[in-house]
A and B are shown apart, each in its own frame.
Chain A
Amino acid sequence: MDNDSFSIIPVNRQLQLKKVMECNDFTNQFGLQITKQEALELIQAKQEALKEQQRVEFGEGILPKLIYAFCDSPFIDQDNYVETLTSLQDIFYLYKNESLDEWSDDELIEYMKHYFDGKCMGSLEYLEETVLQNLSREIRYGIRRDTDDTI
Protein backbone atom coordinates (compact mmCIF):
# COMPACT_ATOMS: atom_id res chain seq x y z
CA MET A 1 0.00 0.00 0.00
CA ASP A 2 1.60 3.30 -1.02
CA ASN A 3 1.22 6.67 0.66
CA ASP A 4 -1.45 7.88 -1.73
CA SER A 5 -3.63 4.92 -0.82
CA PHE A 6 -3.82 6.12 2.77
CA SER A 7 -4.73 9.66 1.80
CA ILE A 8 -7.77 8.40 -0.07
CA ILE A 9 -9.10 6.16 2.67
CA PRO A 10 -12.76 7.23 2.93
CA VAL A 11 -13.41 9.42 5.94
CA ASN A 12 -16.56 8.93 7.94
CA ARG A 13 -17.53 12.58 7.63
CA GLN A 14 -21.05 12.04 8.98
CA LEU A 15 -19.72 10.52 12.19
CA GLN A 16 -17.07 13.21 12.56
CA LEU A 17 -19.56 15.99 11.83
CA LYS A 18 -22.00 14.56 14.34
CA LYS A 19 -19.33 14.35 17.04
CA VAL A 20 -18.13 17.92 16.42
CA MET A 21 -21.66 19.31 16.44
CA GLU A 22 -22.37 17.46 19.68
CA CYS A 23 -19.55 19.44 21.29
CA ASN A 24 -21.67 22.59 21.00
CA ASP A 25 -23.84 21.36 23.87
CA PHE A 26 -20.81 21.46 26.15
CA THR A 27 -19.06 24.57 24.75
CA ASN A 28 -22.21 26.67 24.97
CA GLN A 29 -21.40 27.45 28.58
CA PHE A 30 -18.20 29.17 27.39
CA GLY A 31 -19.99 31.08 24.67
CA LEU A 32 -18.50 28.97 21.90
CA GLN A 33 -20.48 27.55 18.97
CA ILE A 34 -19.59 25.92 15.68
CA THR A 35 -21.93 25.98 12.70
CA LYS A 36 -22.35 22.98 10.46
CA GLN A 37 -20.46 24.76 7.69
CA GLU A 38 -17.58 25.60 10.03
CA ALA A 39 -17.49 22.04 11.26
CA LEU A 40 -17.23 20.73 7.71
CA GLU A 41 -14.42 23.21 7.00
CA LEU A 42 -12.60 22.09 10.14
CA ILE A 43 -12.92 18.45 9.09
CA GLN A 44 -11.65 19.33 5.64
CA ALA A 45 -8.71 21.25 7.15
CA LYS A 46 -7.98 18.28 9.37
CA GLN A 47 -7.82 15.99 6.35
CA GLU A 48 -5.33 18.33 4.71
CA ALA A 49 -3.24 18.49 7.89
CA LEU A 50 -3.20 14.71 8.05
CA LYS A 51 -2.10 14.48 4.44
CA GLU A 52 0.56 17.13 5.01
CA GLN A 53 1.92 15.21 8.00
CA GLN A 54 1.55 11.86 6.24
CA ARG A 55 -0.75 10.45 8.86
CA VAL A 56 -3.89 8.42 8.68
CA GLU A 57 -6.71 8.77 11.19
CA PHE A 58 -9.47 6.43 12.17
CA GLY A 59 -12.72 6.84 14.04
CA GLU A 60 -14.16 10.13 15.17
CA GLY A 61 -10.82 11.89 14.96
CA ILE A 62 -9.05 14.34 17.21
CA LEU A 63 -11.31 17.41 16.83
CA PRO A 64 -13.80 16.64 19.62
CA LYS A 65 -10.91 16.07 22.05
CA LEU A 66 -9.31 19.38 21.09
CA ILE A 67 -12.63 21.17 21.47
CA TYR A 68 -13.31 19.74 24.93
CA ALA A 69 -9.77 20.47 26.08
CA PHE A 70 -9.46 24.05 24.81
CA CYS A 71 -13.02 25.39 25.11
CA ASP A 72 -12.45 26.79 28.60
CA SER A 73 -9.28 28.64 27.63
CA PRO A 74 -9.34 32.34 28.51
CA PHE A 75 -7.57 33.03 25.21
CA ILE A 76 -10.31 31.58 22.99
CA ASP A 77 -13.54 33.38 22.13
CA GLN A 78 -16.16 33.00 19.45
CA ASP A 79 -14.22 35.33 17.12
CA ASN A 80 -11.03 33.24 17.05
CA TYR A 81 -12.58 29.85 17.92
CA VAL A 82 -12.61 28.11 14.51
CA GLU A 83 -9.32 29.72 13.45
CA THR A 84 -7.62 28.57 16.67
CA LEU A 85 -9.01 25.05 16.35
CA THR A 86 -7.71 24.85 12.77
CA SER A 87 -4.22 25.85 13.95
CA LEU A 88 -4.36 23.53 16.95
CA GLN A 89 -5.16 20.61 14.65
CA ASP A 90 -2.17 21.44 12.45
CA ILE A 91 0.11 21.79 15.45
CA PHE A 92 -1.20 18.59 17.00
CA TYR A 93 -0.43 16.40 13.98
CA LEU A 94 2.90 18.09 13.37
CA TYR A 95 4.02 17.33 16.91
CA LYS A 96 2.62 13.83 16.94
CA ASN A 97 5.21 13.22 14.25
CA GLU A 98 7.93 15.36 15.79
CA SER A 99 7.56 13.62 19.14
CA LEU A 100 7.92 10.27 17.35
CA ASP A 101 4.46 9.22 18.54
CA GLU A 102 5.91 8.84 21.99
CA TRP A 103 3.02 10.67 23.58
CA SER A 104 -0.59 9.62 23.44
CA ASP A 105 -3.23 11.99 22.06
CA ASP A 106 -4.38 12.91 25.55
CA GLU A 107 -0.87 13.56 26.82
CA LEU A 108 0.00 15.85 23.94
CA ILE A 109 -3.30 17.75 24.16
CA GLU A 110 -2.86 18.17 27.91
CA TYR A 111 0.64 19.52 27.40
CA MET A 112 -0.49 21.89 24.63
CA LYS A 113 -3.35 23.22 26.72
CA HIS A 114 -1.16 23.73 29.77
CA TYR A 115 1.35 25.87 27.88
CA PHE A 116 -1.23 27.61 25.67
CA ASP A 117 -3.00 28.95 28.73
CA GLY A 118 0.21 29.51 30.68
CA LYS A 119 3.59 30.45 29.27
CA CYS A 120 2.28 31.03 25.72
CA MET A 121 -0.51 33.35 26.86
CA GLY A 122 -2.64 32.12 23.95
CA SER A 123 0.11 32.52 21.34
CA LEU A 124 -0.09 29.65 18.88
CA GLU A 125 3.24 30.69 17.35
CA TYR A 126 5.04 30.47 20.69
CA LEU A 127 3.37 27.14 21.40
CA GLU A 128 4.40 25.70 18.05
CA GLU A 129 7.80 27.22 17.49
CA THR A 130 9.23 27.27 20.99
CA VAL A 131 7.45 25.12 23.54
CA LEU A 132 6.62 22.10 21.40
CA GLN A 133 9.85 22.30 19.49
CA ASN A 134 11.76 22.07 22.77
CA LEU A 135 9.58 19.22 23.88
CA SER A 136 10.11 17.20 20.71
CA ARG A 137 13.85 17.83 20.84
CA GLU A 138 13.97 16.55 24.40
CA ILE A 139 11.97 13.48 23.45
CA ARG A 140 14.26 12.71 20.52
CA TYR A 141 17.31 13.01 22.77
CA GLY A 142 15.63 10.93 25.42
CA ILE A 143 15.87 13.70 28.00
CA ARG A 144 12.25 13.90 29.03
CA ARG A 145 9.36 11.53 28.67
CA ASP A 146 6.95 11.97 31.50
CA THR A 147 4.27 14.65 31.31
CA ASP A 148 4.34 15.06 35.06
CA ASP A 149 7.89 16.37 34.86
CA THR A 150 7.09 18.83 32.16
CA ILE A 151 3.80 20.37 33.14
Chain B
Amino acid sequence: MTRYKMEEVLPLLEERVRRYTHNESTSVTYEKARQLMESLLYCLEEGENGNGMDIMAGEGDVKTAFTLGLARKKEKIKLAEELFEKIRKDFHSYHNHGYEETVMKGMPAFFLRYDIEFDGKNHLLTLDYPLFLEIEELTGIDLIYAYLKAARIEQDFLKHFPTLSVEEILRGFNGKYEEAYFNISEIVLYKALGCIMVKRPAGGLFMTEEDIMMLSKQLQERSKEELESKLQDALLSLDKELHLQSEVSEYFMTGLPKIVSNFLYYKKIKKVFLLFPKRKQKMKLQQKFQDGRVMEDEALRILIEKMQACESLEDRLYMVKENVRSLRDLKEILKECFWGDEFIQVFSLLSQEEVMVLKKEMKGRIAFGKGCIYKYLIKI
Protein backbone atom coordinates (compact mmCIF):
# COMPACT_ATOMS: atom_id res chain seq x y z
CA MET B 1 0.00 0.00 0.00
CA THR B 2 1.21 3.46 -0.84
CA ARG B 3 1.58 6.07 1.85
CA TYR B 4 0.21 8.74 -0.43
CA LYS B 5 -3.39 9.92 -0.24
CA MET B 6 -5.72 9.34 -3.13
CA GLU B 7 -6.02 13.06 -3.87
CA GLU B 8 -2.25 13.16 -4.35
CA VAL B 9 -2.30 10.16 -6.67
CA LEU B 10 -5.23 11.23 -8.88
CA PRO B 11 -3.40 14.02 -10.74
CA LEU B 12 -0.72 11.47 -11.57
CA LEU B 13 -3.39 9.06 -12.80
CA GLU B 14 -4.72 11.84 -15.03
CA GLU B 15 -1.24 12.32 -16.43
CA ARG B 16 -0.90 8.56 -17.04
CA VAL B 17 -4.28 8.49 -18.81
CA ARG B 18 -3.23 11.35 -21.06
CA ARG B 19 0.02 9.59 -21.84
CA TYR B 20 -1.78 6.33 -22.50
CA THR B 21 -4.29 7.92 -24.87
CA HIS B 22 -1.62 10.13 -26.46
CA ASN B 23 -3.72 13.06 -25.32
CA GLU B 24 -6.40 12.02 -27.78
CA SER B 25 -9.06 11.03 -25.31
CA THR B 26 -10.30 12.79 -22.19
CA SER B 27 -11.94 9.65 -20.81
CA VAL B 28 -11.22 5.95 -20.44
CA THR B 29 -13.28 2.99 -19.27
CA TYR B 30 -13.26 2.05 -15.60
CA GLU B 31 -11.44 -1.12 -16.60
CA LYS B 32 -8.65 0.78 -18.31
CA ALA B 33 -8.49 3.35 -15.50
CA ARG B 34 -8.18 0.53 -12.97
CA GLN B 35 -5.36 -1.05 -14.99
CA LEU B 36 -3.53 2.27 -15.22
CA MET B 37 -4.08 2.98 -11.54
CA GLU B 38 -2.78 -0.45 -10.53
CA SER B 39 0.23 -0.02 -12.76
CA LEU B 40 0.85 3.42 -11.26
CA LEU B 41 0.59 2.13 -7.68
CA TYR B 42 2.82 -0.83 -8.57
CA CYS B 43 5.64 1.54 -9.52
CA LEU B 44 4.82 4.01 -6.77
CA GLU B 45 5.22 1.35 -4.09
CA GLU B 46 8.56 0.35 -5.58
CA GLY B 47 9.65 4.01 -5.45
CA GLU B 48 8.60 4.33 -1.83
CA ASN B 49 10.45 1.21 -0.71
CA GLY B 50 14.14 0.73 -0.37
CA ASN B 51 16.83 3.33 -0.66
CA GLY B 52 16.95 6.49 -2.62
CA MET B 53 13.98 8.31 -1.18
CA ASP B 54 12.78 9.04 2.32
CA ILE B 55 9.04 9.42 2.01
CA MET B 56 8.44 9.48 5.76
CA ALA B 57 10.80 12.40 6.07
CA GLY B 58 8.65 14.17 3.55
CA GLU B 59 11.23 13.96 0.82
CA GLY B 60 9.91 13.86 -2.70
CA ASP B 61 6.44 14.17 -4.10
CA VAL B 62 4.28 11.46 -5.56
CA LYS B 63 5.61 12.00 -9.04
CA THR B 64 9.22 11.66 -7.92
CA ALA B 65 8.38 8.45 -6.11
CA PHE B 66 6.61 7.12 -9.19
CA THR B 67 9.48 8.04 -11.50
CA LEU B 68 11.97 6.39 -9.17
CA GLY B 69 9.78 3.28 -8.91
CA LEU B 70 9.36 3.06 -12.67
CA ALA B 71 13.12 3.32 -13.15
CA ARG B 72 13.67 0.54 -10.61
CA LYS B 73 11.14 -1.69 -12.32
CA LYS B 74 12.82 -1.10 -15.66
CA GLU B 75 16.16 -2.03 -14.10
CA LYS B 76 14.56 -5.21 -12.78
CA ILE B 77 13.30 -6.06 -16.27
CA LYS B 78 16.85 -5.68 -17.55
CA LEU B 79 18.21 -7.94 -14.80
CA ALA B 80 15.52 -10.52 -15.46
CA GLU B 81 16.33 -10.50 -19.16
CA GLU B 82 20.03 -11.02 -18.43
CA LEU B 83 19.20 -13.84 -16.06
CA PHE B 84 16.94 -15.46 -18.63
CA GLU B 85 19.73 -15.32 -21.21
CA LYS B 86 21.99 -17.19 -18.78
CA ILE B 87 19.29 -19.79 -18.14
CA ARG B 88 18.50 -20.17 -21.81
CA LYS B 89 22.09 -21.03 -22.71
CA ASP B 90 22.06 -24.41 -21.01
CA PHE B 91 18.46 -24.89 -20.03
CA HIS B 92 17.30 -28.49 -19.84
CA SER B 93 13.60 -29.29 -19.76
CA TYR B 94 14.19 -33.06 -19.61
CA HIS B 95 11.57 -33.27 -22.37
CA ASN B 96 8.87 -31.98 -20.04
CA HIS B 97 6.63 -29.90 -22.28
CA GLY B 98 5.24 -27.71 -19.50
CA TYR B 99 8.73 -26.77 -18.37
CA GLU B 100 9.85 -26.06 -21.93
CA GLU B 101 6.75 -24.00 -22.72
CA THR B 102 6.87 -21.96 -19.52
CA VAL B 103 10.53 -21.07 -19.65
CA MET B 104 11.67 -21.24 -23.25
CA LYS B 105 8.51 -20.01 -24.95
CA GLY B 106 6.78 -18.07 -22.20
CA MET B 107 9.66 -15.90 -21.08
CA PRO B 108 10.65 -14.50 -24.50
CA ALA B 109 6.97 -13.69 -25.08
CA PHE B 110 6.84 -11.97 -21.72
CA PHE B 111 9.83 -9.75 -22.41
CA LEU B 112 8.36 -8.89 -25.79
CA ARG B 113 4.92 -7.91 -24.55
CA TYR B 114 5.29 -6.82 -20.94
CA ASP B 115 4.20 -3.21 -20.47
CA ILE B 116 5.64 -1.68 -17.31
CA GLU B 117 4.39 1.79 -18.26
CA PHE B 118 0.70 1.02 -18.39
CA ASP B 119 0.10 -2.54 -17.24
CA GLY B 120 2.95 -3.29 -14.85
CA LYS B 121 1.05 -5.63 -12.57
CA ASN B 122 0.13 -7.93 -15.42
CA HIS B 123 2.80 -10.60 -15.81
CA LEU B 124 0.96 -12.10 -18.80
CA LEU B 125 2.17 -15.65 -18.15
CA THR B 126 0.31 -18.31 -16.21
CA LEU B 127 3.64 -19.93 -15.23
CA ASP B 128 2.12 -23.39 -15.42
CA TYR B 129 5.32 -25.20 -14.53
CA PRO B 130 5.36 -25.27 -10.72
CA LEU B 131 8.49 -24.36 -8.82
CA PHE B 132 9.64 -26.34 -5.80
CA LEU B 133 8.89 -23.30 -3.63
CA GLU B 134 5.76 -21.50 -4.68
CA ILE B 135 6.09 -17.73 -5.05
CA GLU B 136 3.34 -15.90 -3.26
CA GLU B 137 1.92 -12.40 -3.51
CA LEU B 138 4.25 -11.08 -6.19
CA THR B 139 2.99 -9.79 -9.52
CA GLY B 140 4.39 -8.27 -12.70
CA ILE B 141 8.12 -8.20 -13.20
CA ASP B 142 8.68 -8.93 -9.50
CA LEU B 143 7.05 -12.32 -9.95
CA ILE B 144 8.84 -13.10 -13.21
CA TYR B 145 12.23 -12.16 -11.77
CA ALA B 146 11.63 -14.26 -8.65
CA TYR B 147 10.45 -17.16 -10.83
CA LEU B 148 13.55 -16.97 -13.01
CA LYS B 149 15.86 -16.82 -9.99
CA ALA B 150 14.25 -19.95 -8.56
CA ALA B 151 14.25 -21.67 -11.95
CA ARG B 152 17.97 -20.96 -12.26
CA ILE B 153 18.63 -22.49 -8.83
CA GLU B 154 16.62 -25.59 -9.72
CA GLN B 155 18.48 -25.94 -13.02
CA ASP B 156 21.81 -25.63 -11.19
CA PHE B 157 20.71 -28.37 -8.81
CA LEU B 158 19.62 -30.70 -11.60
CA LYS B 159 22.95 -30.28 -13.35
CA HIS B 160 24.55 -32.29 -10.55
CA PHE B 161 22.88 -35.40 -11.99
CA PRO B 162 23.26 -37.13 -15.36
CA THR B 163 20.47 -36.11 -17.70
CA LEU B 164 19.67 -39.71 -18.47
CA SER B 165 19.29 -40.57 -14.79
CA VAL B 166 16.99 -37.61 -14.19
CA GLU B 167 14.80 -38.58 -17.12
CA GLU B 168 14.61 -42.17 -15.97
CA ILE B 169 13.69 -41.12 -12.43
CA LEU B 170 10.97 -38.87 -13.82
CA ARG B 171 9.69 -41.67 -16.02
CA GLY B 172 9.69 -43.95 -13.01
CA PHE B 173 7.65 -41.37 -11.10
CA ASN B 174 5.19 -40.78 -13.91
CA GLY B 175 5.18 -42.83 -17.10
CA LYS B 176 3.93 -39.79 -19.02
CA TYR B 177 6.05 -37.24 -17.22
CA GLU B 178 6.67 -35.36 -20.45
CA GLU B 179 3.06 -34.20 -20.42
CA ALA B 180 2.66 -33.83 -16.66
CA TYR B 181 3.00 -30.74 -14.50
CA PHE B 182 5.11 -31.32 -11.41
CA ASN B 183 8.38 -29.94 -10.17
CA ILE B 184 11.26 -31.96 -11.56
CA SER B 185 13.87 -30.90 -9.02
CA GLU B 186 11.59 -31.99 -6.18
CA ILE B 187 11.33 -35.54 -7.50
CA VAL B 188 15.07 -35.74 -8.07
CA LEU B 189 15.74 -34.22 -4.65
CA TYR B 190 13.69 -36.92 -2.88
CA LYS B 191 15.51 -39.65 -4.75
CA ALA B 192 18.86 -38.08 -3.97
CA LEU B 193 17.92 -37.81 -0.30
CA GLY B 194 16.90 -41.46 -0.44
CA CYS B 195 20.33 -42.37 -1.83
CA ILE B 196 21.98 -40.41 0.98
CA MET B 197 19.86 -42.15 3.60
CA VAL B 198 20.82 -45.61 2.30
CA LYS B 199 24.43 -44.49 1.99
CA ARG B 200 24.64 -44.67 -1.77
CA PRO B 201 26.17 -41.98 -3.97
CA ALA B 202 23.51 -39.32 -4.45
CA GLY B 203 24.84 -38.39 -7.88
CA GLY B 204 23.99 -41.85 -9.20
CA LEU B 205 20.33 -41.59 -8.17
CA PHE B 206 20.35 -45.34 -7.81
CA MET B 207 18.69 -47.39 -5.09
CA THR B 208 18.02 -51.09 -5.23
CA GLU B 209 14.54 -52.38 -4.59
CA GLU B 210 15.79 -53.66 -1.27
CA ASP B 211 17.12 -50.17 -0.38
CA ILE B 212 13.79 -48.60 -1.17
CA MET B 213 11.79 -51.10 0.87
CA MET B 214 14.16 -50.92 3.81
CA LEU B 215 14.25 -47.10 3.84
CA SER B 216 10.48 -46.83 3.42
CA LYS B 217 9.98 -49.15 6.35
CA GLN B 218 12.41 -47.14 8.48
CA LEU B 219 10.82 -43.82 7.64
CA GLN B 220 7.35 -45.22 8.18
CA GLU B 221 8.25 -45.80 11.82
CA ARG B 222 9.68 -42.34 12.47
CA SER B 223 7.89 -39.56 14.34
CA LYS B 224 7.50 -36.14 12.75
CA GLU B 225 10.45 -34.75 14.73
CA GLU B 226 12.66 -37.70 13.88
CA LEU B 227 11.71 -37.45 10.25
CA GLU B 228 12.49 -33.74 10.21
CA SER B 229 15.86 -34.30 11.81
CA LYS B 230 16.73 -37.16 9.45
CA LEU B 231 15.74 -35.20 6.36
CA GLN B 232 17.67 -32.17 7.54
CA ASP B 233 20.75 -34.31 8.05
CA ALA B 234 20.27 -35.86 4.64
CA LEU B 235 19.99 -32.40 3.08
CA LEU B 236 23.23 -31.33 4.75
CA SER B 237 24.97 -34.49 3.57
CA LEU B 238 23.64 -33.96 0.07
CA ASP B 239 25.03 -30.44 0.11
CA LYS B 240 28.40 -31.77 1.23
CA GLU B 241 28.51 -34.66 -1.20
CA LEU B 242 27.47 -32.76 -4.31
CA HIS B 243 29.19 -29.51 -3.32
CA LEU B 244 26.00 -27.61 -3.97
CA GLN B 245 26.22 -23.88 -4.59
CA SER B 246 25.19 -21.94 -1.46
CA GLU B 247 22.10 -20.56 -3.21
CA VAL B 248 20.96 -24.05 -4.15
CA SER B 249 21.60 -25.40 -0.70
CA GLU B 250 19.72 -22.52 0.98
CA TYR B 251 16.84 -22.85 -1.45
CA PHE B 252 16.18 -26.50 -0.63
CA MET B 253 16.84 -25.98 3.06
CA THR B 254 14.14 -23.31 3.03
CA GLY B 255 11.88 -25.95 1.59
CA LEU B 256 12.53 -28.37 4.46
CA PRO B 257 9.04 -27.88 5.97
CA LYS B 258 7.55 -28.74 2.59
CA ILE B 259 9.76 -31.81 2.26
CA VAL B 260 8.80 -32.97 5.76
CA SER B 261 5.13 -32.37 5.07
CA ASN B 262 5.34 -34.44 1.86
CA PHE B 263 7.10 -37.30 3.62
CA LEU B 264 4.46 -37.17 6.36
CA TYR B 265 1.72 -37.35 3.78
CA TYR B 266 3.21 -40.41 2.09
CA LYS B 267 3.85 -41.90 5.51
CA LYS B 268 0.19 -41.40 6.37
CA ILE B 269 -0.96 -43.23 3.25
CA LYS B 270 1.76 -45.83 3.85
CA LYS B 271 3.40 -45.23 0.48
CA VAL B 272 6.73 -43.65 1.38
CA PHE B 273 8.37 -45.79 -1.31
CA LEU B 274 6.67 -43.63 -3.96
CA LEU B 275 9.06 -40.84 -3.02
CA PHE B 276 11.94 -42.89 -4.36
CA PRO B 277 10.83 -43.78 -7.87
CA LYS B 278 12.67 -46.52 -9.66
CA ARG B 279 14.45 -45.63 -12.83
CA LYS B 280 12.60 -46.46 -15.97
CA GLN B 281 14.10 -46.41 -19.43
CA LYS B 282 12.38 -44.86 -22.37
CA MET B 283 13.46 -47.47 -24.82
CA LYS B 284 15.25 -50.61 -23.74
CA LEU B 285 18.40 -51.50 -25.57
CA GLN B 286 16.92 -54.98 -25.90
CA GLN B 287 15.72 -54.37 -29.45
CA LYS B 288 19.13 -53.08 -30.49
CA PHE B 289 20.90 -56.01 -28.88
CA GLN B 290 18.65 -58.75 -30.20
CA ASP B 291 20.30 -58.92 -33.55
CA GLY B 292 23.31 -57.02 -32.38
CA ARG B 293 26.15 -56.55 -34.76
CA VAL B 294 29.60 -56.99 -33.28
CA MET B 295 31.83 -54.02 -33.92
CA GLU B 296 35.04 -54.25 -35.94
CA ASP B 297 38.04 -54.61 -33.61
CA GLU B 298 39.49 -51.32 -34.77
CA ALA B 299 36.20 -49.46 -34.26
CA LEU B 300 35.82 -50.99 -30.82
CA ARG B 301 39.34 -50.00 -29.89
CA ILE B 302 38.76 -46.40 -30.97
CA LEU B 303 35.50 -46.29 -29.01
CA ILE B 304 37.18 -47.66 -25.89
CA GLU B 305 39.97 -45.10 -26.17
CA LYS B 306 37.46 -42.33 -26.63
CA MET B 307 35.49 -43.47 -23.61
CA GLN B 308 38.59 -43.83 -21.49
CA ALA B 309 39.45 -40.24 -22.26
CA CYS B 310 36.00 -39.10 -21.25
CA GLU B 311 35.41 -38.29 -17.58
CA SER B 312 31.70 -37.66 -17.74
CA LEU B 313 29.67 -40.73 -16.87
CA GLU B 314 26.71 -39.30 -18.69
CA ASP B 315 28.67 -38.94 -21.90
CA ARG B 316 30.08 -42.46 -21.63
CA LEU B 317 26.58 -43.86 -21.11
CA TYR B 318 25.47 -41.92 -24.14
CA MET B 319 28.29 -43.45 -26.19
CA VAL B 320 27.19 -46.92 -25.10
CA LYS B 321 23.63 -46.22 -26.11
CA GLU B 322 24.65 -44.84 -29.45
CA ASN B 323 27.36 -47.29 -30.48
CA VAL B 324 27.10 -50.60 -28.73
CA ARG B 325 24.85 -53.17 -30.35
CA SER B 326 26.08 -56.43 -28.89
CA LEU B 327 26.58 -57.86 -25.42
CA ARG B 328 30.04 -59.05 -26.47
CA ASP B 329 31.20 -55.50 -27.16
CA LEU B 330 29.47 -54.29 -24.01
CA LYS B 331 31.43 -56.72 -21.88
CA GLU B 332 34.70 -55.41 -23.32
CA ILE B 333 33.65 -51.84 -22.68
CA LEU B 334 32.54 -52.63 -19.13
CA LYS B 335 35.97 -53.96 -18.30
CA GLU B 336 37.85 -51.03 -19.81
CA CYS B 337 35.67 -47.95 -19.37
CA PHE B 338 33.57 -48.16 -16.20
CA TRP B 339 34.35 -48.47 -12.53
CA GLY B 340 32.57 -49.12 -9.24
CA ASP B 341 29.04 -47.76 -8.97
CA GLU B 342 29.15 -46.76 -12.63
CA PHE B 343 28.42 -50.37 -13.58
CA ILE B 344 24.97 -50.01 -12.10
CA GLN B 345 24.24 -47.11 -14.41
CA VAL B 346 25.28 -49.16 -17.41
CA PHE B 347 23.21 -52.15 -16.32
CA SER B 348 20.20 -49.94 -15.90
CA LEU B 349 20.34 -49.41 -19.68
CA LEU B 350 19.68 -53.09 -20.24
CA SER B 351 16.50 -55.08 -20.41
CA GLN B 352 15.76 -57.79 -17.88
CA GLU B 353 16.52 -60.41 -20.49
CA GLU B 354 19.90 -58.90 -21.27
CA VAL B 355 20.75 -58.70 -17.58
CA MET B 356 19.91 -62.40 -17.24
CA VAL B 357 22.15 -63.27 -20.18
CA LEU B 358 25.00 -61.20 -18.76
CA LYS B 359 24.64 -62.72 -15.32
CA LYS B 360 24.81 -66.17 -16.84
CA GLU B 361 27.87 -65.30 -18.90
CA MET B 362 29.76 -63.50 -16.14
CA LYS B 363 29.06 -65.88 -13.30
CA GLY B 364 32.25 -67.60 -12.22
CA ARG B 365 34.35 -65.75 -14.81
CA ILE B 366 37.55 -64.41 -13.28
CA ALA B 367 37.70 -61.51 -15.70
CA PHE B 368 34.45 -60.12 -14.39
CA GLY B 369 34.78 -61.22 -10.81
CA LYS B 370 38.13 -59.46 -10.55
CA GLY B 371 36.75 -56.13 -11.61
CA CYS B 372 33.80 -56.77 -9.32
CA ILE B 373 31.45 -56.26 -12.26
CA TYR B 374 29.44 -59.31 -11.34
CA LYS B 375 29.03 -58.00 -7.79
CA TYR B 376 27.22 -54.97 -9.18
CA LEU B 377 25.28 -56.95 -11.73
CA ILE B 378 23.59 -59.10 -9.14
CA LYS B 379 22.25 -55.98 -7.45
CA ILE B 380 20.06 -55.25 -10.46
Contact = CB atoms under 8 A, between A and B. Distances in A.
Interface string A111-137: 000000000000000000000000000
B29 to A, nearest CB: 6
A109 B24 CA distance: 12
Given A104-B24, A105-B24, A106-B24, A55 B34 contact: no
B49 interface: no
Nearest to A107: B24
B32 interface: yes
A58 B7 CA distance: 13
A54 to B, nearest CB: 5
B14 interface: yes
Interface string A1-36: 111001001100000000000000000000000000
B301 to A, nearest CB: 69
Interface string A53-74: 1111111111000000000000
Interface residues on A, range: 20 to 34
A57 B38 CA distance: 17
A97 B10 CA distance: 22
A129 B26 CA distance: 24
Interface in A82-107: 93, 96-97, 101, 104-106
Contact of B25 (A6, A10, A53, A96): A96
Interface string B269-292: 000000000000000000000000
Given A1-B38, A58-B14, A58-B17, A6 B24 contact: no
Contacts of A101: 25, 28-29, 32
B18 interface: yes
B24 A56 contact: no
A48 to B, nearest CB: 14
B25 A56 contact: no
B29 A55 contact: yes
Nearest to A62: B26
A58 B37 CA distance: 13
B37 to A, nearest CB: 5
A45 interface: no
A57 B26 contact: yes
Contacts of A105: 24-26
A50 interface: yes
Interface residues on B, range: 20 to 34
A96 B28 CA distance: 9
Interface in B1-16: 7, 10, 13-14
A58 to B, nearest CB: 4
B256 interface: no
A3 B37 CA distance: 12
A58 B30 contact: no
B26 A58 contact: yes
A77 B31 CA distance: 37
A110 B18 CA distance: 20
Nearest to B35: A1
Nearest to A59: B26
A54 B14 contact: no
B10 A50 contact: no
B131 interface: no
Contacts of A93: 27
Contacts of A96: 25, 27
B27 A54 contact: no
Contacts of B18: 58-59
Given A9-B10, A105-B25, A3 B30 contact: yes
Contacts of B28: 55-56, 101
**Most A C-beta atoms less than 10 A away, residue of B21, B28, B33:** B33
Contacts of A57: 26-27
A50 B29 CA distance: 9
Contact of A97 (B17, B29, B37): B29
A145 B34 CA distance: 26
24 contacts: A1-B33, A1-B37, A3-B30, A3-B34, A6-B33, A9-B10, A10-B7, A10-B10, A50-B27, A54-B31, A55-B27, A55-B30, A56-B27, A56-B29, A56-B33, A57-B26, A57-B27, A60-B26, A101-B28, A104-B21, A104-B24, A105-B25, A105-B26, A106-B24
Interface of B: 7, 10, 13-14, 17-18, 21, 24-34, 37-38
Given A6-B34, A60-B26, 15 more contacts: A1-B38, A3-B34, A10-B7, A50-B27, A55-B28, A55-B30, A56-B27, A56-B28, A56-B29, A58-B18, A61-B26, A96-B25, A101-B32, A105-B25, A105-B26
- Leading 8 A-B pairs by shortest Cβ distance: A104-B24, A57-B27, A58-B14, A54-B30, A56-B33, A55-B27, A3-B30, A6-B30
